């Protein structure tokens, strides 16, 4: 027994020492990386190199300030997350870089939204103007990746590969049946015939109005998809539609037969073609540089607001994610943080114009109004141009509408001008399922307004409806003033209806179709600037301050994703319900997930 305790004690001490050493190494690594600014060193690019481009992760608006990106053994995401800003800058630089001879679109999933894909696709089209070829290869072509890859000079697919070409679909999950079984009633107060975010809680299928709007915007997105592919591949749009309707593309050889690809090849054959293209000995590896590394050193607008001393600046203010009160972070819009960024840019005499990059499905109507106020004040003293990303809908449109002008992509999701609120009545669940009863006293008739243990009275519902009506009136008035339209007209195209950027320009919600660079050019012209620097607002979160919370959050997300698999999206939808309760919302009917 004595010997046993010796071994146990030795093991404990050993584990403790090993853990301490590992901790010291990790802290040292973190300190070194943070001290270096978290920036990668400049990448040396050999002559006759290929720019290797692969998209297998979400694409944020800005490259995250995470010096531990790629260190999967520490519990962090082991993929290098590169922002759209650096991706576009990298492709633009490669266009004129004499060391880069071609671009290789390599096995991608394109988990990004439609407008983000459009931005990258347009950058690739511009790259081709250099005369340098783009070669695309994949084992699996999702529709989104094929839309991107269709601009390539040569498109190849693995002989056993998968080619998806079956049209667009969107499915909505309805929770009413589950709520009924639990004895929970979703008490909904809304304004807007098309404000369908509440439908999953009160219906078991799409309303006629929602089906009408989904058909309209999905049809617009699909038409743009086919038209873009048709233009790149020189195939009639109607012919492409026929291929989809008849499911003519089931195997790689079908894609070749109908000229959607240029060849059916294994990857080694494609790599040999790249070697010949760059004059590389077939026995040697092709010279290449990953966009992940190349792009990080190419961005012209990655300086935070305190890093530039230029007297002529255009500020790019990034607002990405759901809108809520508070601070927020780089992936969510906090009204305090974004308002502060707008104020800082407005009061900085060196900033001559502002580009407000909005990528948001909306959120809290109150938080949206707080940000709208700062946009309105900024417009009075200097030009402010909105550039819409994948989404700028509901609250996302609210914070955009006061700008001087609005740019969107044809496949941006916008509009959804409407307000709603949800208050659960859990009396049936609490009493019938849990056996709970409630009783108490109150000093005012409405002291317990919003109590989930009982249903709303008709008077209480009327009070909440008046609050939502007032929010909608203020929303439509803000849009009418910003867009120089009558409030009656905005009401006619509002009602919560969702539009694509292509549709929105026709009804006056958007001024021009274009990308973020077009918005920057417009801002410079409006401010009479020829030479200027770009500065990014708000300053990205300090890595060390967010290390613990960020690590725990990412580990938790990984565990949940691993456990739920494809069902993770339902978990996300259920989590979003918490944010909708009681607080009036200006948001999309969940996210528009096109399959």
Identify the burial level of 5 via C-beta atoms within 10 angstroms of its C-beta, where 0-12 means exposed, 13-18 middle and 19 or more buried: exposed
Establish whether 394 is a catalytic residue.
yes
Contact 334, 326 (CB under 8 A): yes
Q: Which two tokens stand for residue 211?
A: 């089906």
Say which residue the tokens 């004690």 belong to.
9
Q: Which two tokens stand for residue 261?
A: 């690809």
Contact 70, 80 (CB under 8 A): yes
d(CA 290, CA 135): 15
- Active-site pick, 394, 400, 416, 522: 394
Per-residue DSSP letters for 500-540?
EHHHHHHHTS-SEE--HHHHHHHHHHHTT-SS-EEEEESPP
Q: Which two tokens stand for residue 485?
A: 């339209």
Q: Which two tokens stand for residue 282?
A: 């077939």
d(CA 105, CA 2): 65
Number of H-type helices and E-type strands within the chain: 21, 21
Q: What is the 3-state secondary structure (H, E, C) of 342-394?
A: HHHHHHCCCEEEEEEEEEECEEEHHHHHHHHHHHHHHHCCCCEEEEEEEEEEC
Establish whether 477 is a catalytic residue.
no
Rg (CA), the chain: 27
* 303 membership: H or E segment, kind and range: none
d(CA 420, CA 190): 4
Nearest 5°: the CA angle 17, 22, 27 is: 125
**Residues with Cβ within 8 Å of residue 7, at least 6 apart in sequence:** none
- Active-site pick, 80, 92, 132, 195: 195
d(CA 464, CA 165): 46
Q: Which of 592, 549, 553, 586 is nearest to 573 (CA)?
A: 592
Instruction: Please give the positions annotated as active site.
Output: 195, 394
């Amino acid at each position: 027994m004595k010997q046993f305790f010796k071994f146990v004690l030795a093991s404990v001490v050993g584990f403790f020492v090993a853990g301490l050493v590992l901790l010291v190494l990790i802290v040292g690594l973190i300190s070194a990386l943070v001290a270096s600014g978290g920036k990668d060193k400049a990448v040396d690019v050999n002559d006759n190199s290929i720019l290797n481009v692969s998209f297998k992760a979400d694409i944020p608006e800005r490259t995250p300030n995470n010096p531990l990106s790629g260190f999967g053994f520490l519990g962090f995401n082991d993929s290098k997350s590169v922002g759209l800003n650096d991706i576009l800058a990298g492709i633009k630089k490669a266009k004129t870089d004499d060391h880069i001879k071609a671009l290789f679109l390599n096995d991608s999933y394109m988990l990004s939204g439609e407008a983000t894909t459009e931005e990258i696709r347009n950058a690739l089209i511009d790259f081709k103007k250099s005369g340098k070829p783009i070669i695309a290869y994949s084992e699996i072509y999702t529709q989104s990746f094929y839309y991107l890859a269709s601009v390539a000079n040569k498109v190849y697919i693995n002989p056993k590969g998968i080619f998806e070409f079956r049209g667009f679909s969107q499915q909505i999950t309805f929770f009413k049946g589950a709520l009924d079984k639990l004895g929970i009633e979703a008490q909904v107060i809304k304004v807007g015939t098309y404000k369908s975010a509440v439908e999953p809680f009160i219906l078991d299928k799409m309303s006629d109005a929602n089906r009408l709007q989904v058909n309209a915007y999905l049809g617009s997105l699909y038409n743009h998809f086919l038209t873009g592919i048709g233009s790149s591949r020189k195939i009639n749009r109607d012919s492409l539609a026929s291929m989809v309707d008849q499911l003519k593309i089931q195997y790689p050889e079908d894609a070749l037969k109908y000229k959607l690809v240029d060849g059916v090849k294994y990857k080694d054959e494609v790599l040999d073609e790249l070697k010949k293209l760059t004059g590389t000995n077939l026995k040697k590896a092709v010279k290449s540089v990953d966009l992940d590394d190349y792009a990080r050193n190419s961005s012209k607008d990655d300086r935070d607001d305190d890093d530039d001393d230029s007297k002529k600046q255009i500020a790019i203010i990034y607002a990405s994610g759901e809108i809520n009160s508070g601070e927020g972070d780089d992936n969510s819009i906090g009204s305090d943080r974004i308002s502060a960024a707008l104020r800082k840019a407005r009061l900085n005499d060196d900033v001559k114009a502002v580009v407000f990059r909005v990528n948001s499905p909306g959120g809290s109507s109150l938080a949206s109004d707080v940000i709208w106020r700062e946009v309105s004040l900024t417009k009075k003293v200097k030009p402010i141009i909105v550039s819409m990303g994948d989404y700028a809908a509901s609250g996302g449109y609210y914070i955009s509408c006061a700008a001087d002008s609005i740019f969107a992509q044809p496949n941006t999701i916008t509009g959804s001008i409407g307000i709603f609120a949800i208050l659960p009545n859990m009396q049936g669940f609490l009493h019938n399922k849990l056996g709970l009863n409630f009783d108490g006293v109150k000093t005012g008739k409405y002291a317990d307004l919003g109590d989930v243990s009982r249903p709303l009275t008709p008077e209480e519902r009327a009070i909440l409806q008046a609050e939502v009506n007032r929010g909608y009136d203020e929303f439509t008035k803000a849009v009418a003033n910003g867009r120089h339209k009558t409030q009656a007209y905005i009401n006619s195209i509002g009602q919560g209806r969702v539009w694509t950027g292509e549709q929105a320009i026709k009804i006056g919600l958007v001024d021009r179709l274009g990308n973020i660079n077009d918005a920057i050019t417009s801002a410079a012209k409006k401010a009479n600037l020829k030479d200027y620097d770009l500065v990014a607002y708000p300053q990205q979160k300090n890595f060390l301050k967010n290390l613990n919370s960020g690590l725990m959050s990412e580990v938790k997300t990984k565990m949940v994703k691993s456990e739920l698999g494809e069902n993770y999206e339902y978990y996300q939808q259920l989590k979003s319900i918490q944010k909708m309760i009681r607080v009036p919302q200006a948001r999309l009917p969940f996210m528009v997930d096109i399959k």
